[in-house]
Chain A
Amino acid sequence: DIQMTQSPSSVSASVGDTVIITCRASQATGSWFAWYQQKPEKAPKVLIYLTSSLQSGVPSRFSGSGSGTEFTLTISSLQPEDFATYYCQQGNSFPRTFGQGTKVEVK
């Protein structure tokens, strides 16, 4: 199984800040890597798929990068609606696995 280690587990930030979340996989995942945003009591929604492809309708301040076993989600110029929990996920092999989540909180 591919284990996903996501960091940090939480981050305090202000509107306008740049936030970087990292996910490390225990094995290479190819390009099959995605990022999700979840707000309280809501279903997750995909932000980034195939490592760096922006899902339709997602603001361009969200970007993804990485390769091999290290992947990054960058939120540039954090907006009030971006305070949420973020998860990474690998789709290279079964079982599909998620990171533990990163909560972006108001500083």
Chain B
Amino acid sequence: EVQLLDSGGGLVQPGGSLRLSCSASGFTFSDYGMNWVRQAPGKGLEWVSTITLDGRNTYYADSVKGRFTISRDNSENTMYLEMNSLRAEDTAVYHCVKGYTSFDFWGQGTMVTVSS
């Protein structure tokens, strides 16, 4: 059974940092691209970032480019999102998502709140 356990969210002040983690099981992690997709309260889905199966290529939404860094450790079946210079508009549930051109399995999400 595929499982994605996302964690690391919390309350942080504007300008602060957080590191999200996604622990994967139930599939061969190193065979799949992985993503972060977020959803602000009451809003729609917003793609944040993608990392290829080998970690060599990464892609970012313009809204987070230069502030967020996606990475993965295939030996630990884990993906990360390092978030710096956080803004109020980054407040959202962040989902770890399996897939590359489409997103075939989603974690339950971890809430990030940016507020003073």
Residues of A within 8 A of B (CB): 32, 34, 36, 38, 43-46, 49-50, 55, 87, 89, 91-92, 94-101
Contacts and interface: CB of A to CB of B under 8 A. Distances in A.
Q: Is the interface of B mostly helix, strand, loop or mixed?
A: strand
Given A44-B45, A100-B44, A94 B103 contact: no
B109 to A, nearest CB: 6
Interface stretch (B15-23, B82-90, B94-102): B94-102
A44 B31 CA distance: 22
B104 A96 contact: no
Contacts of A38: 45
B46 A98 contact: yes
20 contacts: A32-B101, A32-B102, A34-B102, A44-B45, A44-B95, A45-B106, A46-B104, A46-B105, A49-B102, A50-B102, A94-B50, A95-B47, A95-B61, A95-B62, A96-B35, A96-B47, A98-B45, A98-B47, A100-B44, A101-B45
A46 B105 CA distance: 7
Interface residues of B, number: 21
Contacts of B50: 94, 96
Nearest to A44: B106
Contacts of B32: none
B2 to A, nearest CB: 11
B30 interface: no
Interface string B42-73: 00111100100000000111100000000000
A94 B106 CA distance: 19
A67 to B, nearest CB: 16
Contacts of B45: 36, 38, 44, 87, 89, 98, 101
Query: Shortest 6 CB-CB distances between A and B: which pairs?
Result: A91-B101, A34-B102, A43-B106, A96-B47, A49-B102, A94-B59
